[in-house]
Structure 1
Amino acid sequence: MTYRPSPPSLLARMPWWLLAIALLFVVGLWAISANQTYAQIFSALAGGVVTTLWVSLVAFALATLIGLGVALARTSGNRLLREIATFYVEIIRGIPVLVFLFYVAFVGAPGLVAALNWLLEPFGAAISIRQFDFAWRAIAALTVCYSAFIAEIFRAGIEAVDRGQIEAARALGLSRWQCFRLITLPQALRTILPPLANDFVSMIKDSALVSALGVQDITQLGKVYSSGTFLFFETYNVVAFLYLTMTISLSLLVRLLERRLRENRY
């Protein structure tokens, strides 16, 4: 009778780093539920989670749409479109996110309002700069910044598709749009989904920069609460715990997605 070793348990197969993170998460939850100070801080910062996720989701959705358009321009047969798209990507990627955030909030937004007022002047209407909410200025800045990085992800995915498939489809009579929609895009999406998801995780972390504009996200609420109570250690522990909960959860989902795509490929 052949001896077959029993498969290792789930605990034995779980990586140590994940066990350490799980332990850290349990300790954080216990501190928030058992310690009144941490519980009060958590209640004060909970509203910032909604703002952080809302800003990140809207900015990422818009950045993905713009990034796809820029990537199509970069892979276009028209040289003018390629040059303009490359100029856009190189310029935006070379500016730090915080600097661009200030530029959009305090230069771009007033300039846009002034241009709109010039157009509306014959109609006797006017827009105040105060009507341009800082949250939307932050979303605009994050959208433009991340669209340049996402454009490169899309471009790499599009160029990874075998040209022979596209030539064969063209030979069968498919239009350029049909080739892109039916052949290029589905295969490119399988390639770019993991790095695209990683960019969303990065955006959640970079969304903390919007606190510099006074947007009521997790970081801004933590800053206000700690300055009023002088509980800096406890407050920023909760701030870090909230960000870690969101980013690590998403990172684990990305790993699961990568594994599923790898299994389906083979």
Structure 2
Amino acid sequence: MRSLFCIVLVLLIGILASGCTQQTASSPAITPVTPTTAAAITAPAVPATGSSLAELSNTRSGTLLSLDPGPVIVSFNAENAQPMTFWFSQGQDYAEGSDLVMTGPYTGSLAVAAPKKGEYQLNISGSGSWTARVARAEMTTPLKAPVNLSGSGTSVTPCFALEKGEYFFNRNETGLASPLYELRYANGSYLMDVNNTFVQPGFGMGSPHPFGFIEIPENGTYFLSVIAKSNPHPWNVSISVVPRLPPMGPGPAIPGKV
């Protein structure tokens, strides 16, 4: 009887030992897809060293420009707090403008675009002392995505190359605190959404979303125009490609199903 008991005890110990050492399969970790950023690249007030077209100031506030199609950068310096208005037009055929508020001395840049060859009028007004330089944009050395762009108010960023596809546009401020962000092609025209209803990224006034999706229709060079409600105003955005999901494989075989 004692021998039988010993044999049963040895068998139980062996079964328990093998159960404790058996390895269980672990589920693979799932990494959530989130917008990514790159090393910070500061967006300067003058994004390129293009050829100078005109020099303006509060004592000479307007000029007539003979332009080929493409973007023009107005780099300006306000010596004191003041509102400023920028107006760029070609008679009754084309016009674009911006009203900015400087809360103190400020240096920034603004993009305008000539859609066709011709004569254009640029007028700037302010309530204090200011100077401005008008120059062609330099688009020959684009940055590569992903990019992380930052600035301090109304600025035109360096240009960057994007391939056709979907991208994350991530911003550090939301709602009414966010500047207006407008993506443009290298030729200065706006990058519209697929339905041609708004300029991308198109958050909208008061939008609470920290990031959105933008659709790039073709490989090319682009730049970002940032218009802040008050200047200076710190901002930061990143543009990164949306990861492609791997193709779905066949599901598990179901017994009895053909």
Q: TM-score range by the shorter chain?
A: under 0.3
- Structure scoring higher RCO (CA < 8 A, sep ≥ 6) equals 1
- Scaled by the length of structure 1, what TM-score is found? 0.21
- Scaled by the length of structure 2, what TM-score is found? 0.21
Structure possessing the higher radius of gyration over alpha carbons:
2
